[in-house]
A and B are shown apart, each in its own frame.
Chain A
Amino acid sequence: MDKSIKIKIDGKGIIAKEGQTIVEAAEENGIYIPTLCHLKGIIPSGSCRICNVKVNGRFLTACTTKIHDGFEIENNSPEITELRKIIIETLFVSGNHYCPACEKSGNCILQALAYQYRIMIPRFPYIYEQREIDASSPKLILERNRCVLCKRCVRTIKTDDGKNYFAIEGRGHKARIILDEELAKTMTEEKAMKAMENCPVGCILKKETGFIKPIGERKYDKESISKVCVK
């Protein structure tokens, strides 16, 4: 039997299983910790930092940190909330995110997080980075203006024999997502759909599937991401 571990999140005592991460333990106990680069069921990378919590006084990413007895975790403190807002605002100004024209609007995790934290305008000036759109493959469009470099596509969309369709090219602010030209030609409908679904923003788009759901019926139209994720 799994060993039980007692931890506290925002002062509330919860019991979780040994080997679980903070995000998993919180979700099982109905507590929402925001995630963006992390996708349930895959190895976490802890790169976006939105799940930052304070564990016994230290900042740690909740998606990569496994729980231990006696963890006292701050998740909803004003300090953590402010930190998360800064991360979201940084992502908004470092890309070119025009929600009214985006196919993913209403189903976008970045937008849903901005709604969750009630971000009106970013406190930082926009960078207006020039990024190229790649629509050359038969099934997908890469709208790099919206990419947050979470690598979800790199980590989850692979051929049956384990080859990557996606990769990151370049370093620093020149880093960009690319799609293997040859493999993309043989990509199945299902894989293309999965790539679009796994993209948390509107960067990977499956051709001819944009704006399918009308306003009002999209994932985060009626309920905040904290309610959608923790039922």
Chain B
Amino acid sequence: MLVEENKQLSRDIFALELTGEFPYEKATSGQFVNLLIGDGKGHPLRRPLSIASCNPETKTLTLVYRVVGDGTKWLSERCPGDVLDVLGPLGRGFPAPQNPGTVLVVGGGVGVPPLYQLAKELGAAGFKLHIVLGFKNQDDVFWTREFAEFGDVVVCTEDGSLGKKGFVTEALNVNENWTTLYSCGPKPMLKALKAHFQGRDIKGYVSLEERMACGVGACWGCTCLDPDGSAAKRICKEGPVFSWEEVSL
């Protein structure tokens, strides 16, 4: 695919807009692509990046990533016109809400991007959204205005430098009448969310992250366990989105 834009969104977060040949119609929110770094010689493992936005009409695919090492640093240096090898869409994305009513969307850090495509889809389907986005501090914050198009947005930072101070769970009143929760972010956040809503009548979905090799389900590198720990599930194939009941966090 062709790079259209590669823009820095915050301290270490970049948005990569791609165009060109891609099965845009097949992609759903919560799925990911596996992107080759360079010619793959120095970096044999592709980088799994969640789909932040996919637009079949304009033929654009947006991937948002955090620069953490050599591979993502190389990616951050790509310019418009550069060609990238993109494999996807892969994995199982967010299912549609089973019940009407207000949907809760909670993202943390680099877990925020896949929720953008989700919010876009749910907004278009007429769902009312309550969106909570958590970051470490104000330098990490991105896309809060973009999300506001689809629902009311609450921003939290751990140090209180922007929005509410504290973790996302502190901004969530369990007595509100939310029917479905979609979340993506660090595992402690996902765990805290599940505990926060324990016993409440809310359907919860989490998008999990793990180091991957093949990205297609062949190598069993990125597994997680079911709640009783008796069976493994491949995050790249059966996930990355799971319901609370399907996995142990």
The answer to whether A and B interact is: no
Q: Could you tell me which A residues sit within 8 Å of B by CB distance?
A: none
User: What is B's interface to A at a CB cutoff of 8 Å?
Assistant: none
